[in-house]
Structure 1
Amino acid sequence: MKKTLAMFLAAAMACSLLLTGCGNSDSGSASASGSAPSSGSSGDTIVLSCATKVAEDSFEGKTYQYFADLVKEYTNGSVEVQIYPSEQLGDSTTTVNNMQLGTIDMYIEGSTFYSGYGVDVLFTTSPFLMTEWEDYLELVTGEFGDLQMQQMEKAGFKMLCSDRSWQRGPYYVTCSTKPINSLDDLKAIKLRSADSAAFMNAMSFLGVSTTVVNYSECYMALQQGTVEAVNCPVSNVESMAFYEVGPYVTYMNCYPQELWPVMNLDKFNSLTGEQQEALVKAANDAAAYSNEELYTFTDEMIARVESDGAEFNMDFDCGVIQDALHDYYVGEAAKGNIPELVAQFLGLL
């Protein structure tokens, strides 16, 4: 079960050489520039490229393929989704930009990467601002969620999961090279961050040092000591093998997270009405399937990695950090850095 760095690099190099040797014979391969092959039709079939961040054999990766299978089924084969896992088409910032340009058709990931397109999402990665999924779901299925979808379409994107129900996680943990039992322990380590100003600013207020690392590079960053801790959905602990190099796994539910299956709006609008309805239905049904299976998978995964040496701490008091950040978030709301509807929902205004 252990993965060594040498094996990983050797496999990656072999795969790279294989793809190079094949030239353009494989229409499903990513190009050297990180762009997907242009979407189009094969006979009567429209093929859509879909980028993802996680490994294809992970829990999330399998649910993305389940979504792709549903699209094919619901469109009677007239539309197919080709999944490109593990950041094959670039990091999140690059992928979202290319999706807006239309060189990638779809992306399934968290919402934070749409903040630069006029979409109110930064609060979703504000740590310990909101910790309960039920509260988050209530927020995004109301007036504020409608506003987000309007902002997305104005920016050229189409959110496919109209139910807004695709839960990631179902909670977050921190994989670290040393135990974390208190806020002081957290302050004493180097924590990986996505490229999220909201997350980094809040952690800086707490006195926690952060370093931006692409998600696919976190294993090596932990192994080499670039960072000493990585936050991740608990469902990714095994598939990303973080527990091998960060064996102390601490419940630290910094925020609930929703997965966003998003499509280039022009490409979506180019489909027939029946095909559009099928894509939305497939996204909603894949979300329901994922949510139903997620907790069972997580419990079984935790048992597996514990038997392989990981140490889980499920008793970390997240309330201590919430209390420490309360005045900070009141100040952020007063400055307008938290959307007004969100601030009112959370009682910060």
Structure 2
Amino acid sequence: MRFPFAPLAAPLAAPLVAAVLLASASVSLAATELKFAHAAPDTDLQQALAEHFADEVAKRTDGEVTVKIFPHGQLGNDQQMISGTRSGIVDIVMSGLNNVDGLMPQVGGLLLPYIFTSREHAYKVLDGEVGQSLLADFEDFGMKGLGFPENGYRNITNSRGPIREPEDVRGLNIRTNNSAALNEMFALLGANPQPLPVSELYTALETGVVDAQEHPIPITHSFHYDEVQDYLSMTEHSYSMLFIAMNLKKFNALTPEQQQVIVDVAQEATAYQRQMSIDKEASILADLKERGMEINTDVDKAAFQAAVASTWDSYKAKFGDDMITKILAAQ
């Protein structure tokens, strides 16, 4: 039996296949994948923020913008990730605000010991005039500032004994970050501050290169510093914030609608992560205690504050008192 229309199938199929392939290619070309890098393990609240951000961006852009997360310093240490974001090798970075101290030295006012009286005080400053001004300043360095998630209050861990008074810190070889104020603080207390990348800290504690460190409790927990430290003292000597920033050229290449999604979701993810930090603090401390850490809260914070008050004077001498005045006014 003959089928007279059969010969037409092949000629008709070719344009149809080509059209399908062209449509698929257009969808592929339209999709944008963003690389989101941070230094924390994938068990940390920073990863929870990144996952929330990625899910919401993909959902609200109908898959036109997707986010691939690189935790635990997979794309380099903090300074390398920030440099990569400025150059466009990395699209989005989340890091401690202290890591842009060299670019924007005015942020040092936010890192001064005991300058924030509470989390709520910090949130008010970071979400208000001071924080918005700093987010705008990121553009001078090729980045779009997106928000200030929480790292939390910094506390001291060590292998020598509980920290209750300033004198208890004397002689400790303590790992610090690159904050000028915190390094000055520990020098004033008679410790030996040693700035080290967080990626090197566990080994440094394990081998005795340093015998103490100071981080917010989620970092102590997620990096398993309890395995190489015996004591956690709730000094709460400095509130530590993170920042999220995106490569500015990559941000500007998005459509206005996509840009708004990025901005909105970053703010929502920041609020989400801050609340998680508050909600999980008690359970994290309980888990650290169960793992074997001795935790003490009987810290004479007034004595510590008096002992390190000159760090504020050092900042004022370099940068004036405008930042400090604004922070204190927000109480």
Deviation at 1:44, TM superposition (A): 3.0
Q: Corresponding residue for 1:261?
A: 244
| Counterpart contact for 2:226–2:291, Cα < 8 Å | no
Which of the residues 312, 319, 326 maps onto 1:337? 319
> Which deviates more from structure 2 when the two are superposed, residues 122-131 or residues 232-241?
122-131
**Residue identity in the other structure for 1:178:** R
Measure, in 2, the Cα distance between the counterparts of 1:216 and 1:239. 13
| Counterpart contact for 2:221–2:284, Cα < 8 Å | yes
Deviation at 1:117, TM superposition (A): 2.5
1:157 aligns with 2:143: yes
SS in 1 for 2:106: coil
1:175 aligns with 2:157: yes
| Counterpart contact for 1:128–1:321, Cα < 8 Å | no
Measure, in 2, the Cα distance between the counterparts of 1:193 and 1:331. 18
Alignment of 1:115-194 (within 5 A): 115-118=101-104, 120-161=106-147, 164=148, 166-169=149-152, 171-179=153-161, 180-194=163-177
Q: Which has the higher contact order (CA 8 A, sep 6+)?
A: 2
Which of the residues 198, 221, 226 maps onto 2:181? 198
| Counterpart contact for 1:152–1:158, Cα < 8 Å | yes
Q: Corresponding residue for 1:15?
A: none
1:49 aligns with 2:35: yes
Deviation at 1:42, TM superposition (A): 4.6
**Residue identity in the other structure for 1:144:** V
| Counterpart contact for 1:132–1:255, Cα < 8 Å | no
Deviation at 1:119, TM superposition (A): 5.6
SS in 2 for 1:268: helix
Q: For the structure 1 residues 300 and 142, does the alpha-carbon distance in structure 2 shift closer, same or farther, using more than 3 Å as the test?
A: closer
Q: For the structure 1 residues 184 and 45, does the alpha-carbon distance in structure 2 shift closer, same or farther, using more than 3 Å as the test?
A: same
Structure with the larger helix share: 2
Measure, in 1, the Cα distance between the counterparts of 2:242 and 2:314. 28
Cα offsets for 1:268-326 (capped at 9, x unmatched): 11101111111112112212222222233221222222122111112212221111122
Alignment of 1:241-252 (within 5 A): 241-252=224-235
Measure, in 1, the Cα distance between the counterparts of 2:187 and 2:76. 28
Cα offsets for 1:11-50 (capped at 9, x unmatched): xxxxxxxxxxxxxxxxxxxxxxxxxxxxxx9543211111
Which of the residues 218, 223, 227 maps onto 1:240? 223
Q: For the structure 1 residues 331 and 262, does the alpha-carbon distance in structure 2 shift closer, same or farther, using more than 3 Å as the test?
A: closer
Q: For the structure 1 residues 131 and 215, does the alpha-carbon distance in structure 2 shift closer, same or farther, using more than 3 Å as the test?
A: farther
**Residue identity in the other structure for 2:207:** Q
1:316 aligns with 2:302: no
Which of the residues 54, 57, 62 maps onto 1:76? 62
Which of the residues 258, 274, 287 maps onto 1:304? 287
Measure, in 2, the Cα distance between the counterparts of 1:110 and 1:339. 23
Instruction: Give the gaps of 5 or more residues in structure 1.
Output: 1-40
SS in 2 for 1:195: coil
Measure, in 2, the Cα distance between the counterparts of 1:121 and 1:75. 33
| Counterpart contact for 2:98–2:107, Cα < 8 Å | yes
Alignment of 1:217-296 (within 5 A): 217-296=200-279
Measure, in 1, the Cα distance between the counterparts of 2:320 and 2:122. 14
Which of the residues 85, 94, 97 maps onto 1:111? 97
1:97 aligns with 2:83: yes
Q: Corresponding residue for 2:46?
A: 60
| Counterpart contact for 2:185–2:308, Cα < 8 Å | yes
SS in 1 for 2:102: helix
**Residue identity in the other structure for 1:74:** R
Q: For the structure 1 residues 144 and 102, does the alpha-carbon distance in structure 2 shift closer, same or farther, using more than 3 Å as the test?
A: same
Q: For the structure 1 residues 93 and 71, does the alpha-carbon distance in structure 2 shift closer, same or farther, using more than 3 Å as the test?
A: same
Identity, % of aligned positions: 26
> Which deviates more from structure 2 when the two are superposed, residues 150-159 or residues 222-231?
150-159
Q: For the structure 1 residues 331 and 54, does the alpha-carbon distance in structure 2 shift closer, same or farther, using more than 3 Å as the test?
A: closer
Cα offsets for 1:202-241 (capped at 9, x unmatched): 3223322111111122111111111111111111222110
Q: How many residues align?
A: 302
Cα offsets for 1:222-268 (capped at 9, x unmatched): 11111111111111222110011112111121222222111011111
Deviation at 1:54, TM superposition (A): 0.3
Q: Corresponding residue for 1:216?
A: 199
Deviation at 1:328, TM superposition (A): 4.0
Q: What TM-score results when the alignment is normalised by the length of structure 1?
A: 0.80
Q: Corresponding residue for 2:22?
A: none
